[in-house]
A = this chain, B = another copy of it.
Amino acid sequence: MRSYRVAVVGALGAVGQQMVRILERSSLAVSSLKPLDIEENAGKQVSFRDKMWTVETSGKGKFIDVDIALFSAGAEASEILAPIAVSEGAVVIDNSSQWRMTDGVPLVIPEVNPEALRSHKGLIANPNCSTIQMLVALKPLHDAFTIKRVVVSTYQAVSGSGAAAIRELREQTQAVLDGRQAVAQVYPHPIAFNALPQIDVFLENGYTKEEMKMVNETHKMLDPNILVSPTAVRIPVFRGHSESINLEFEKPFELEKVFELYKHAPGVRLVDDPGHLAYPLALDAEDRYEVFVGRLRRDPSIENGLNMWVVSDNLLKGAALNTVQIAEKLVEMDLIGR
């Protein structure tokens, strides 16, 4: 059986650490791990499958002995390093936003559009966290009833903005409880005990970049004909994005059938028992691999309408896990060259 030399770029970051942990638990045959990070972290040790691996600085020449490079180093680093890694022969799976909408770069969720991997030229992009969990939930319904329009409002955790944001929520929260002033640095306004209707920067059309990612990535991965109307909101949650999703289908549907589809949908866990107050919750999704779906109910305001509540761990399926699953799928489909 073939085994793979894997590099993780940004191995000491929040998502990078999750990548190493998920890789460790995965069935992927890894012959060597190469943790790469910024210069000040070089020399540190990363534990992986009962061995310690030394962190090196990433750069030219570092990918010559690498089969698969998982990138989680941000868009700027990826712009420079990903082409280097590809030219040195590695297959790059990049978690940043840098290449997602680039023509010829597959943007992939294994449960949604694995076939897009066949045309890869060494570089594959991992989608935005809020898009991933939405599309894992939407895919089986789109196949069955053809989604016409999506109205989505998100309830996003701070960990999507990295370690500094997690610290900021913690510090601001303690300050408020102690009667002190909350100081905002990562976000433009205090996030503790607040709801911020802004994620990423504003664009000309009044939408944020985060909101337009949900539109554009849905078109690239699922179907360019699906209309998406998004509102992305940050709330004081550490981990786990929640989404309130309203769907309009082309075809009539039975609610029973939706439940049935979700019982067998890949990557989905149905949690929907209002009688026992069971529905997906951010706190329950922490450290879990699935996309949780619940509060399924017909929307009587349109002919073929459905409301639902979708939750997933933004650091796992929303980032590190999906990246590793792309690697697994590439191996399964025998799409790693050399």
List residues of chain B with CB within 8 A of the CB of A228: 301
Closest to A301 in B: B227
Q: How far is the CA of A228 from the CA of B151 in the complex (A)?
A: 13
When the two chains form their complex, are residues A197 and B237 in contact, meaning their CB atoms are under 8 A apart?
A: no
Stretch among A26-34, A92-100, A202-210 lining the B interface: A202-210
Stretch among A3-11, A35-43, A111-119, A279-287 lining the B interface: A279-287
Q: How far is the CA of A49 from the CA of B35 in the complex (A)?
A: 69
**A263-299 CB contacts (< 8 Å) to partner B:** 274-275, 277, 279-283, 294-299
List residues of chain B with CB within 8 A of the CB of A150: 301
Question: Does residue A249 face the partner (Cβ distance < 8 Å to B)?
Answer: no
List residues of chain B with CB within 8 A of the CB of A155: 155, 195, 233, 235
**A184-202 CB contacts (< 8 Å) to partner B:** 188-190, 193-198, 202
When the two chains form their complex, are residues B205 and A297 in contact, meaning their CB atoms are under 8 A apart?
A: yes
When the two chains form their complex, are residues A229 and B307 in contact, meaning their CB atoms are under 8 A apart?
A: yes
Closest to A241 in B: B195
When the two chains form their complex, are residues B295 and A197 in contact, meaning their CB atoms are under 8 A apart?
A: yes
Q: How far is the CA of A193 from the CA of B238 in the complex (A)?
A: 6
Closest to A170 in B: B177
Min CB distance A239 to B, Å, is: 8
Which of A150, A174, A207, A305 is the most central at the interface, judged by chain B CB atoms within 10 Å of its CB?
A207
Given contacts A198-B277, A274-B206, A301-B149, contact A189 B283 (CB under 8 A): yes
**How many residues of A are counted as interface, with CB atoms below 8 angstroms from the partner's CB atoms?**
54
Question: Does residue A153 face the partner (Cβ distance < 8 Å to B)?
Answer: yes
List residues of chain B with CB within 8 A of the CB of A307: 229, 231
Interface of A is mostly: mixed
Question: Does residue A63 face the partner (Cβ distance < 8 Å to B)?
Answer: no
Closest to A305 in B: B229
When the two chains form their complex, are residues B233 and A236 in contact, meaning their CB atoms are under 8 A apart?
A: no
Question: Does residue A246 face the partner (Cβ distance < 8 Å to B)?
Answer: yes
List residues of chain B with CB within 8 A of the CB of A131: none
Question: Does residue A173 face the partner (Cβ distance < 8 Å to B)?
Answer: yes
Question: Does residue A302 face the partner (Cβ distance < 8 Å to B)?
Answer: yes
When the two chains form their complex, are residues B281 and A196 in contact, meaning their CB atoms are under 8 A apart?
A: yes
List residues of chain B with CB within 8 A of the CB of A177: 170, 173-174, 177
List residues of chain B with CB within 8 A of the CB of A195: 155, 235, 237, 242, 281-282
List residues of chain B with CB within 8 A of the CB of A299: 229
Given contacts A202-B274, A235-B235, A236-B235, contact A194 B283 (CB under 8 A): yes
Q: How far is the CA of A275 from the CA of B188 in the complex (A)?
A: 12
A-B contact pairs, 16 of them (CB 8 A): A153-B153, A155-B155, A155-B195, A155-B233, A189-B281, A189-B283, A193-B236, A193-B237, A194-B283, A196-B281, A198-B274, A205-B298, A206-B295, A206-B298, A229-B246, A235-B235
Question: Which A residues lie at the B interface, using CB under 8 A?
Answer: 149-151, 153, 155, 170, 173-174, 177, 188-190, 193-198, 202, 205-207, 227-229, 231, 233, 235-238, 242, 244, 246, 274-275, 277, 279-283, 294-302, 305, 307, 309
Nearest 8 pairs of A and B residues by beta carbon: A206-B297, A227-B301, A153-B153, A153-B244, A202-B274, A231-B244, A229-B301, A188-B277
